[in-house]
Structure 1
Amino acid sequence: MNRRPALLSAAAMAAAAVLSLSACGGSGGDSKSSDKIAGADDGAQASASPSSKTTDDGIDRPEIKLPKGVEDAFEGSKTTGDPKKDAVLADNARRISSVTEAVTVDAKEHPALKFYSSGDALLSAANHVQGFQKKNKSFVGTTRYYDREVTFLKDGAAAVTYCMDATKTYPKDRETGKVDKSIPASAQDYSFYNTRLEKNADGVWQTTAVLTTTAAKRCMP
């Protein structure tokens, strides 16, 4: 059983052609669902939230705070030796955690969601969050992200590929707070992502398209 549904929408599948083939390819919902997710109504331009902080690159970014017991673990070196690649990977990580926050934190708004996602990627993220909300579910535990690689494309965008291991996460009932640890790990807990990022006018590398392969053999131990 897949305890963490993959970020996937029909729009993301249609966008597969814009992803870098050289960066390795991986995989629905209502495209209107993004307007039902607070903070995900418009991905065209990123805007800082009232709760933000200025990072070393001078960008005002909304803070992302995960609840106790929830962690996104990014494995590997934080620096590649290439400042441009480091910036892309940093915003890729922030985008991932912005989705985790939107799923696991009860709040009226999740400004980081649209700060780091736009276009098809924002729609797929909104669908993903909506799926948890409709079932009144969340999750706890640690999600591993590894083998992250950056490829710069001719049009100025970047392709980031990476693996996800969700074997150490468990479904949580929002109403009762009960965590279900009875679900055994399976191949469905390993996913491979192929994403496209574009640098916006504010200097943020926003994810614009996501292609996901679940039960990805290349990501399994």
Structure 2
Amino acid sequence: MKTDAVLRDNAEYLRAINEAIEKQDAKSEAIVFYSKDTALLGTVEWVSGFIKDNTTLTGSARYFNRKVTFSNDGSAGLTYCADESKGYTKDRKTKKINVTPATENSYVFYNDRLRKNTKGIWQVTKSFSERGSKACQP
């Protein structure tokens, strides 16, 4: 199904971001594979921030309420929430974990646009996020 393919490729995009942060590689092959256009630029910028700060991620994030819609132009829209209340940054040099308390800002709403490329991969082309969104609060 098309919906399953969109969800699968988006999950791989999220894994690619985490891997790029861990490997300190803002222009990793996986990021380029699963994103393009403004989403690629934004992802490179996001990962570069971790590299500049010499930090990585630890803990976990949970994604939920994933909803896919399809447009007449062949693109797909995907909205979902992230619970980052158990996700933290970690200093790569000192190994110190920046444990922060869960707040409304621990929940993020995402609204992504995806388009299938010639290889059949649904690439994220645009991504909008809203930290603290009421739509994602427990």
Short-chain TM bin: over 0.9
Say if 1:124 and 1:109 are closer, same or farther in 2 by CA, change over 3 A: closer
Of 130, 135, 147, the match for 2:48: 130
Question: Is 1:164 the counterpart of 2:82 in the alignment?
Answer: yes
CA offset at residue 180 of structure 1? Answer: 2.3
Of structures 1 and 2, the larger Rg is shown by 1
Aligned residues: 138
CA displacement 1:123-173 (0-9 Å, x = unmatched): 010110011111111120110000001000010000000001100011100
Unaligned runs of 5+ in 1: 1-82
- Partner Cα distance (1:180, 1:152) in 2: 39
Relative distance call for 1:163 and 1:108 in structure 2 (3 A) is closer
Letter in 2 for 1:147: N
Counterpart Cα distance in 2 of 1:188 and 1:109: 28
Are 1:190 and 2:107 matched, yes or no?
Answer: yes
Q: Deviations over 1:74-101 (max 9, x none)?
A: xxxxxxxxx1110011001111111111
The change in CA–CA distance for 1:108 and 1:143 in structure 2 (over 3 A counts) is closer
Q: Distance in 1 between matches of 2:31 and 2:65?
A: 23
Instruction: Give the counterpart of 1:143 among 49, 54, 61.
Output: 61
Q: Which amino acid aligns with 1:130?
A: S
* C-alpha contact (below 8 Å) 2:107/2:131 kept by paired residues: yes
> Structure 1 residue 105: deviation in Å?
2.6
SS of aligned partner of 2:39: helix
Q: Which has the higher helix share?
A: 2
- Pick from 116, 124, 129 the counterpart of residue 207 of structure 1: 124
Q: Which runs of 4+ in 1 moved over 3 A?
A: 106-109
Q: Choose which of 114, 117, 121 in structure 1 pairs with 2:35.
A: 117
Quick one: higher RCO (CA 8 Å, sep 6+), 1 or 2? 1
Matches within 5 A, 1:42-81: none
Distance across 2 between alignment mates of 1:103 and 1:136:
10
State, as a whole percentage, how many aligned pairs show the same letter. 43
Secondary structure, in 3 states, of the residue corresponding to 1:134?
helix
Q: TM-score, normalised by structure 2?
A: 0.95
Match status 1:155 vs 2:73: yes
State the Cα RMSD in Å: 1.4
Between structures 1 and 2, the one with greater strand share? 2
Unpaired runs of at least 5, structure 2: none
Structure 1 length-normalised TM? 0.60
Distance (Å, rounded) in 1 between the aligned partners of 2:27 and 2:39: 18
